[in-house]
Amino acid sequence: MAEVKRVLDALVRSRRGGLAASAALGGLALIAGLAVRATQREVPAGERPAGTAASGTPFDAAALSEDDATLCLRIMVAASAADGMIDARERERLDAAVAESGLDLAGRQWLARELEDPATIDEIADRVQNRETGARVYAAARLAIDPDTMQERTFLRMLAEALDLDEASVSRVETGLAA
């Protein structure tokens, strides 16, 4: 499913209300940037070149593997369903991202199955091999929802625990979203 990166990119951009586009970053780069922020110590903005992550390296959305992009998309679906349903607004955003990406029939069928039976936190966490991937997965989940229900907040807390992300890492993702 080669289009998964395009779906993920479009979904993040639509979710952030144009933040990614206005910041000259695509959705994948926004996820990567939040993950880098979560896993690296903070470096004052004045001490690093513009367009680079806290680690001093440029965001490289192309380096996101298909498997990692699929994990991010799966967790976004699961996070959207964390409160027991994918509401009309969430479904509309997803449908628009799918249309924008040009997802083929096989990809649409895969996504329909995922929406019908979202992945569990444990299923996702079992596929995460390192802290950076875990931070990307968490950032994708957080971008998918505004944690305005107890179920969504619990989902994010349980996800962070399953991914072994400490409170400081989670806080840096939140700070990155607020920026």
Residue 71 belongs to some domain of the structure: yes
Residue 3 belongs to some domain of the structure: no
Residue range(s) defining the domain that contains residue 131: 65-178
Q: Is 24 exposed, middle or buried (0-12, 13-18, 19+ CB in 10 A)?
A: exposed
Residue 34 belongs to some domain of the structure: no
Is the pLDDT reported for residue 59 higher than 70? Answer: no
Position 166 scores a pLDDT of: 93
Residue 16 belongs to some domain of the structure: no
Q: Between residues 121 and 149, which one has the greater pLDDT?
A: 121
Residue 83 belongs to some domain of the structure: yes
Domain count, the chain: 1
DSSP state of 25: -
pTM, two decimals, is 0.77
Residue 11 belongs to some domain of the structure: no
Residue 129 belongs to some domain of the structure: yes
